[in-house]
């Protein structure tokens, strides 16, 4: 068989190397030895010109650490400046300080960078995040954003590793949907932009609002309902994908497009099991990332320390207990529920240890949440609150009683969701975690707009 022949080539590293025709600086710094030949391509982050030699710090996105390149002056061209992109070859040597450096034997400038022409960043300068945010297309060049994006990549990997180790199946839930899962009216409507298509479809007698799909269609606010359908057939599942909310909020915690990790646990009939799962997941991701991306976390925030809660149990309070606690602090909850300031006060009260708020009043939560067995006015829901973000996770047991769910169903179009309870139903519980808020909490990033490459918020969808 042809694939048996292919398997003879066991050295897959050869295949992967060919996808990057140079050596990543991260692997040079970690694995290479003095005396070896190396070839790097990247961007000049700093340049110091001395009598005989030029020292250039070069990064290529693979590490928060830079590789120092020692360049004989005769190889210098005028185009070799701060910000330029370069291709350098040479031999690795050891600096007087004991660090690996590259003694260049060839230097080629691939792209010039004339700072005076309007390049917004300067060497040896820590630009504030608000300043960097004005240059979305160039900000991957900054230490701050490149470190955050590397952490984001690592966190995503750790999440997938966590679920793989637990035999959960990763599911791609749709981005286009006809439901407003949360029922909060924060959906974006999807319509074709092509007038010809619209005209042709109108002639078929279609409703303007449902012109393309035959139903009103939105960008998803959550993959939960679809995930529940797959869970009732395949067992434990999760999804990590983009979600969209048309909230009129420009706060440091809200985006119009964000990534949500959603898990649905099959045969889960106790909220405590859901809590343990979320707690284990968070601790796993925090511990792993602190291990894999130490230099990035330091580069993002020099004061970022491992949280004290890593070896403590998360705290659980009921909504009622939270209300009493906040009352005592002179922060009374209104009928709208716990606000951001109050969420943060609760975490503060627990000395920064994440807090699960459980047993929520039914009227504050979504239709699919399971009624508490001992109180029909409460639902088995949880919000997990952490410092910096307040709410990081929202979840619940799902209402599995057909009649109770039917009485709360917000729309007839969700008949399929109700039907899941009719045929071979099982109890399930699940949650949604905002990936960007997780990154804020992990990295100590105040503004959510700095946790993803191209943030979208009201009046901002440039690029």
Q: Is residue 365 within the footprint of ligand 4AD (CB under 6 A)?
A: no
Whether 398 contacts 429, CB under 8 Å:
yes
d(CA 457, CA 142): 22
Window 126-165: contact mask with ligand 4AD (x via CB under 6 A):
----------------------------------------
Piece of the chain touching ligand 4AD by CB under 6 A; list 80-88, 98-106, 254-262, 413-421? 254-262
Q: Is residue 42 within the footprint of ligand 4AD (CB under 6 A)?
A: no
d(CA 142, CA 60): 11
Piece of the chain touching ligand 4AD by CB under 6 A; list 36-44, 92-100, 152-160, 433-441? 433-441
Residue closer to ligand 4AD by CB (options 258, 286) is 258
Q: Is residue 65 within the footprint of ligand 4AD (CB under 6 A)?
A: no
Window 201-230: contact mask with ligand 4AD (x via CB under 6 A):
---------------------x-x------
Pick the binder of ligand 4AD from 394, 440, 445, 455 (CB under 6 A).
394
Residue 245 touches which member of Mg ion, ligand 4AD, none, C-beta under 5-8 Å by kind: ligand 4AD
Least Å from the CB of residue 16 to ligand 4AD: 34
Q: Is residue 390 within the footprint of Mg ion (CB under 5 A)?
A: no
Please compute Rg for the chain using Cα positions.
26
Q: Is residue 434 within the footprint of ligand 4AD (CB under 6 A)?
A: yes
Least Å from the CB of residue 391 to Mg ion: 6
Residue closer to ligand 4AD by CB (options 194, 270) is 270
18 C-beta neighbours (distance < 10 Å), count:
8
Residue closer to ligand 4AD by CB (options 177, 222) is 222
d(CA 69, CA 47): 10
Element (H, E) at 295: helix 294-300
| Site residue total, ligand 4AD (CB under 6 A) | 23
For residue 119, the SS3 value is coil
Closest CA to 210 of 191, 187, 183: 191
Closest CA to 346 of 365, 372, 318, 369: 318
Residue closer to Mg ion by CB (options 113, 384) is 384
336 DSSP 8-state letter: T
Q: Is 255 exposed, middle or buried (CB count within 10 Å of its CB: 0-12, 13-18, 19+)?
A: buried
CA 425 vs. chain centroid, Å, equals 32
- DSSP string spanning 185-238? S-PPB-----HHHHHHHHHTT--GGGTTTSS--EE-S-SHHHHHHHHHHH-SEE
Sequence-distant (6+) residues with CB within 8 A of 221 are 180, 181, 182, 184, 186, 187, 243, 244, 245
Q: Is residue 307 within the footprint of ligand 4AD (CB under 6 A)?
A: no
Q: Is residue 429 within the footprint of ligand 4AD (CB under 6 A)?
A: no
Least Å from the CB of residue 277 to ligand 4AD: 12
Residue closer to Mg ion by CB (options 394, 430) is 394
Taking each helix axis as running N to C, give the angle between helix 340-349 and helix 319-328, from 0 to 180 degrees, rounded to the nearest 10. Answer: 90
Piece of the chain touching ligand 4AD by CB under 6 A; list 103-111, 128-136, 201-209, 388-396? 388-396
Q: Is residue 255 within the footprint of ligand 4AD (CB under 6 A)?
A: yes
Piece of the chain touching Mg ion by CB under 5 A; list 31-39, 229-237, 350-358, 394-402? 394-402
Q: Is residue 357 within the footprint of ligand 4AD (CB under 6 A)?
A: no
Q: Is residue 430 within the footprint of ligand 4AD (CB under 6 A)?
A: yes
Residue closer to Mg ion by CB (options 42, 394) is 394
Whether 231 contacts 216, CB under 8 Å:
no
Sequence-distant (6+) residues with CB within 8 A of 121 are 83, 127, 132, 135, 138, 141, 142
Q: Is residue 307 within the footprint of Mg ion (CB under 5 A)?
A: no
d(CA 148, CA 450): 8
Binding site for ligand 4AD (CB under 6 A): 181-182, 222, 224, 245, 247, 254-255, 258, 260, 262, 391-395, 430-434, 436-437
Q: Which residues bind Mg ion (CB under 5 A)?
A: 394
């Amino acid at each position: 068989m042809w694939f048996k022949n292919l398997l003879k080539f066991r050295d897959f590293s050869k295949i992967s190397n060919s996808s990057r025709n140079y050596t990543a600086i991260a692997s040079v710094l970690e694995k290479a030895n003095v005396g070896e030949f190396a070839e790097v391509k990247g961007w000049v982050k700093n340049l110091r010109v001395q009598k005989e030699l030029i020292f250039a710090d070069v990064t290529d996105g693979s590490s928060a650490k830079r590789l120092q390149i020692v360049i004989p002056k005769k190889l210098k061209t005028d185009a070799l400046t701060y910000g330029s992109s370069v291709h350098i070859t040479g031999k690795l040597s050891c600096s007087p300080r004991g660090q690996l450096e590259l003694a260049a034997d060839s230097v080629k400038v691939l792209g010039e960078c004339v700072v005076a022409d309007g390049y917004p960043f300067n060497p040896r300068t820590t630009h504030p995040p608000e300043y960097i945010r004005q240059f979305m297309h160039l900000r991957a060049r900054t230490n701050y954003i490149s470190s955050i994006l590397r952490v984001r990549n690592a966190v995503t990997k750790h999440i997938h590793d966590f679920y793989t180790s637990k035999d959960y199946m990763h599911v791609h839930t749709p981005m286009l949907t006809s439901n407003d899962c949360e029922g909060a009216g924060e959906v974006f409507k999807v319509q074709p932009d092509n007038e010809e298509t619209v005209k042709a479809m109108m002639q078929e007698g279609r409703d303007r609002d449902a012109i393309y799909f035959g139903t009103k269609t939105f960008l998803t606010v959550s993959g939960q309902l679809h995930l529940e359908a797959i869970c009732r057939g395949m067992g434990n599942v999760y999804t990590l994908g983009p979600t969209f909310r048309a909230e009129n909020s420009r706060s440091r915690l809200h985006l119009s497009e964000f990534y949500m990790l959603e898990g649905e646990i099959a045969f889960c009939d106790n909220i405590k099991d859901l809590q343990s799962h979320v707690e284990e997941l968070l601790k796993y991701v925090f511990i792993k990332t602190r291990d894999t991306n130490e230099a990035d976390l330091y580069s993002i925030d020099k004061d970022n320390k491992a949280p004290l809660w890593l070896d403590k149990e998360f705290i659980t309070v009921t909504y009622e207990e939270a209300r009493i606690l906040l009352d005592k602090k002179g922060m009374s909850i209104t009928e709208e529920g716990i606000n951001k300031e109050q969420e943060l006060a609760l975490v503060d009260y627990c000395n920064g240890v994440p807090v699960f708020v459980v047993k929520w009043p039914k009227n504050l939560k979504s239709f699919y949440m399971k009624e508490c067995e001992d109180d029909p006015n409460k639902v088995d829901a949880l919000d997990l609150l952490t410092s910096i973000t307040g709410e990081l996770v929202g979840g619940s047991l799902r209402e599995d009683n057909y009649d109770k769910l039917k009485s709360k169903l917000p729309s007839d179009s969700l008949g399929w969701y109700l039907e899941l309870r009719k045929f071979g139903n099982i109890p399930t519980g699940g949650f949604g975690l905002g990936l960007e808020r997780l990154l804020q909490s992990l990295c100590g990033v105040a503004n959510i707009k700095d946790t993803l490459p191209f943030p979208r918020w009201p009046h901002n969808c440039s690029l």
